[in-house]
């Protein structure tokens, strides 16, 4: 049983790789849209996801404006 002094455990994910799952553009962009708000992810793997030109533009806009993301695969 946690004592009154203990803080709840918080987990922040900095890397997420969902590539090779062949996600739809909508599913892949869901990760991007969440991260736009969180701004904590440093690496995102989207390889082999089915992202079209509009989705690629949205991702590029996010990457260029993000202060956290350092790698997009």
**Tens-digit pLDDT profile for residues 42-58:** 988 888 888 999 989 99
Cβ neighbors of 56 (< 8 A, separation 6 or more) are none
pLDDT of residue 19: 83
Q: What is the pTM of this model?
A: 0.72
The burial class, CB within 10 Å (0-12 / 13-18 / 19+), for 59 is buried
What's the number of CA atoms in the CB half-sphere (13 Å) around residue 62? 26
| Residue 60 banded pLDDT, cuts 50, 70, 90 | very high
Question: Tens digits of per-residue pLDDT, 6-44?
Answer: 555 455 678 888 888 888 899 889 888 988 888 888 988
| CA angle 9–12–13, rounded 5-degree value | 140
């Amino acid at each position: 049983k946690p004592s009154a002094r203990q803080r709840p455990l918080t987990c922040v994910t900095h890397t997420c790789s969902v590539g090779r799952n062949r996600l739809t553009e909508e599913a892949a962009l869901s990760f991007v849209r969440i991260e736009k708000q969180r701004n904590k992810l440093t690496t995102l793997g989207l390889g082999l996801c089915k992202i079209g030109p509009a989705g690629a533009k949205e991702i590029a806009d996010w990457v260029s404006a993000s202060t956290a993301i350092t790698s997009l695969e």
